[in-house]
Amino acid sequence: ELKVEQNPLFLSMQEGKNYTIYCNYSTTSDRLYWYRQDPGKSLESLFVLLSNGAVKQEGRLMASLDTKARLSTLHITAAVHDLSATYFCAVDPSGTYKYIFGTGTRLKVLA
């Protein structure tokens, strides 16, 4: 069974702190995506990682992909309250074009 697991599921952190969200997947995939979802809203694309070793950064968020370990990380630097949201990773198992989403990490940044 294809699985995409994120940890932690819940994360409460203080403003200014750093933290990393992990996304592990059980299938071969060269493409991994990170999305943000605010309560009651749809999903917003954050990063598209297309190859092993890919690293992308936008503001306080940085994502990386290790296809050999089947692991992606989303690193948060000096968190601010506006980053509070649920973050999902998703993989596209090779050749299927069926995106499998992770369980989500609910992030709360405390002022």
Partner 1 sequence: DTGVSQDPRHKITKRGQNVTFRCDPISEHNRLYWYRQTLGQGPEFLTYFQNEAQLEKSRLLSDRFSAERPKGSFSTLEIQRTEQGDSAMYLCASTLVTGGYEQYFGPGTRLTVT
Stretch that binds partner 1, among 11-19, 68-76, 77-85, 101-109 (CB under 8 A): 101-109
Burial readout 39-58 (b: 16 or more C-beta within 10 A, e: otherwise): eeeeeeebbebeeeebeeee
* Closest alpha carbon to 32 in 87, 83, 71: 71
Site string for partner 1, 25-64 (x = CB under 8 A): ------x-x-x-----xxxxx--x-x--------------
Q: Which of 61, 79, 90, 107 binds partner 1 (CB under 8 A)?
A: 90
Q: How far apart are CA 35 and CA 3, in angstroms?
A: 17
Residues near partner 1 (CB under 8 A) are 4, 31, 33, 35, 41-45, 48, 50, 88, 90, 92, 96-104
